[in-house]
Amino acid sequence: MTSSTDLRKTDLRETVESYWASAEARDWAAFAGTLAEDVVYTLPQTRECVRGRERYVQFNREYPGDWHLRIERMVAEPGQVVTWIHFTVGLEEMYAISFFTGDAEGRVASVTDFWPEPYEPPLGREHLVERY
Amino acid sequence: MTSSTDLRKTDLRETVESYWASAEARDWAAFAGTLAEDVVYTLPQTRECVRGRERYVQFNREYPGDWHLRIERMVAEPGQVVTWIHFTVGLEEMYAISFFTGDAEGRVASVTDFWPEPYEPPLGREHLVERY
């Protein structure tokens, strides 16, 4: 497990890379090491939140299915990172967009996740768009 | 209208701030000034894309309703910006997450938008979450 000393000078971009790599590896000790003890995870679409490192690790560990992820895009500035993640569970594909903030030690202080679903385009704009 | 000369040394963060401010103001000339001529707008949820400044301005100008927006969060690094926007149309509230890339002049070269919708939380995680 990565100790908080190791992370003292880590910038948040590297922490977030470790966060996703350890989630994909189901390495929950390393995953916990990327998190502030009072981390807050928020899902605005369901108005849910999970408070604290222990519950949040459990929330991820219990998540069902043989899911796999890859980072599609990452944008980082000091103290803030956003990732666009491509998830697969069997043949199903999903996107997740996650806004991270960091604490003074470069650990994850908050994560706000969005899970956008496919939908049918509204009528009336066919003259301007292409489908792919 | 902001000329491309004015934008030559603009960083993408400032361009994106102008993009949203001019959209909110329905100032389509200023909005067009933030865009590269060959801008590409992509909606992964509907698999639609709009190519070129003229069509993309028209796409926004024709968008129905008395919508208003505010920037909830912005994360920027050189050449890449992400915004989380809070939209209202009457009493309806929505979020949009937009990934921007820039061209050499600091104009918007691509926008990829996600529009996540509310959904009911899955059963089985009530012991770990709070609702808000």
Nearest to A58 among B80, B114, B128 (CB): B128
Question: CB-based contact (8 Å) between A123 and chain B?
Answer: no
From edge to edge, which strands make up the β-sheet containing A35-43? A67-77, A80-89, A92-102, A108-114, A35-43, A48-51, B130-131
Q: Give strand pairing partners of B35.
A: B108
Interval B11-30 mean pLDDT: 97
Whether the Cβ atoms of residue B113 and residue B82 lie closer than 8 Å to each other: no
| Encoded amino acid at A79, one letter | G
Structure tokens at A28: 């929950």
Cross-chain Cβ contact A115/B117 below 8 Å? no
pLDDT at A116: 96
> pTM to 2 decimals?
0.91
CB atoms within 10 A of CB B55: 16
Question: Can you tell me the distance from the alpha carbon of B125 to that of A126, in angstroms, rounded to the nearest whole number?
Answer: 41
Backbone angle region of B95, left / alpha / beta, with phi > 0 → left and psi within -120 to 50 → alpha:
beta
Contacts of A123 (CB under 8 A, 6+ apart): none
Dump pLDDT digits (tens) for B54-97.
Answer: 999 999 999 888 999 999 999 999 999 999 999 999 889 999 99
Interval B107-132 mean pLDDT: 93
Cross-chain Cβ contact B62/A125 below 8 Å? yes
Q: A87 vs chain B: nearest CA distance in angstroms? A: 14
Question: Can you tell me the distance from the alpha carbon of B83 to that of B63, in angstroms, rounded to the nearest whole number?
Answer: 20
Which residues in chain B are contacts of A97 at CB distance < 8 A?
Answer: 97, 114, 116
Query: Which residues of chain A fall below pLDDT 50?
Result: 1-7
Question: Can you tell me the distance from the alpha carbon of B76 to that of B108, in angstroms, rounded to the nearest whole number?
Answer: 13
Does the structure show a pLDDT above 80 at B47?
yes
Nearest to A128 among B59, B114, B115 (CB): B59
**With bands split at pLDDT 50, 70 and 90, how would you rate the model's confidence at B123?**
confident
Which residues in chain B are contacts of A119 at CB distance < 8 A?
Answer: 45-46, 115, 117
Does the structure show a pLDDT above 70 at B102?
yes
